[in-house]
Amino acid sequence: QKEVEQNSGPLSVPEGAIASLNCTYSDRGSQSFFWYRQYSGKSPELIMFIYSNGDKEDGRFTAQLNKASQYVSLLIRDSQPSDSATYLCAANMEYGNKLVFGAGTILRVKS
Amino acid sequence: EAGVVQSPRYKIIEKKQPVAFWCNPISGHNTLYWYRQNLGQGPELLIRYENEEAVDDSQLPKDRFSAERLKGVDSTLKIQPAELGDSAVYLCASSLEGRGGSYGYTFGSGTRLTVV
């Protein structure tokens, strides 16, 4: 079982719709969770992190965390073609000060 | 503030040849990470430094990979000899000491290695 799992996609949504990206993790001791965006040929860029159960909003992005279900999600409201990228979920493993990444979900926003 | 700087941006080498990558972290960042990202996969940690000390190198293939971080600033990752399976993007990241796990870290632009 992979430590951080994501659906590889691609997830296709029309412009203006809500994109919902999901992630599960295996280490119950994980405390912090991160969403990175990666454009093709570029390095990952941190867009949000969350460590408390519930929702955290930043502009068009909302991260959701449910530690009981070991589930993290990212909602992107009013999706734009420029949001088309791979979204990487990462968790801080309890046993080390490092992030473990999922394989990423490809998002395509169609205009 | 300058970000994490990596060089070279691209490298093409023949198998069995050596190769080295260089990373300069964000000023003041004590923690430095080297990750490898294969096509279609997420980054995987190779080694983590706290200042000059390699505190987590459990995923580093030590038979052919080596790394150093002299004076706790710049770092070099070396592969000798390179194999076809080493083709990947090598990413360097940095964070303030002890905070990477809580606040995430910043990646450099990466070095895309192609072994032919």
Q: In this predicted model, what pLDDT tens digit does every residue of B58-70 receive, in sequence order?
A: 899 999 999 999 8
**Nearest-by-CA chain A residue for B10:** A41
Average predicted confidence (pLDDT) for chain A: 94
Question: Can you tell me the distance from the alpha carbon of A65 to that of A53, in angstroms, rounded to the nearest whole number?
Answer: 5
A104/B101 Cβ within 8 A: no
Question: Can you tell me the distance from the alpha carbon of A72 to that of A89, in angstroms, rounded to the nearest whole number?
Answer: 8
Is some CB atom of chain B closer than 8 A to the CB atom of A50?
A: no
pLDDT at B100 > cutoff 80: no
pLDDT at B114 > cutoff 80: yes
To the nearest whole Å, the CA of A36 is away from the closest chain B CA by: 9
Question: How many CB pairs below 8 A link A and B?
Answer: 64
Phi, then psi, of A34 in degrees rounded to 5: -135, 150
pLDDT (mean) for A37-53: 95
Question: Can you tell me the distance from the alpha carbon of B25 to that of B110, in angstroms, rounded to the nearest whole number?
Answer: 12
Is some CB atom of chain B closer than 8 A to the CB atom of A35?
A: no
A101/B44 Cβ within 8 A: yes
pLDDT at A46 > cutoff 70: yes
The per-type count for chain B, helices as H runs and strands as E runs, is 1, 11
Among the listed residues B62, B91, B94, B92, the one whose alpha carbon sits nearest the alpha carbon of residue B79: B62
Could you please report the per-residue DSSP string of chain A?
Answer: --SEEE----EEEETTSPEEEEEEES-TT---EEEEEE-TTS--EEEEEE-SSEEEEETTEEEEEETTTTEEEEEESS--GGG-EEEEEEEE-TTSS-EEE---EEEEEE-
pLDDT of residue A74: 98
Q: Least CB-CB distance to B106: which of A46, A97, A102?
A: A46
Q: In this predicted model, what pLDDT tens digit does every residue of B69-94 receive, in sequence order?
A: 988 899 999 999 999 999 999 999 99
The share of chain A scoring above pLDDT 90, in percent, equals 85
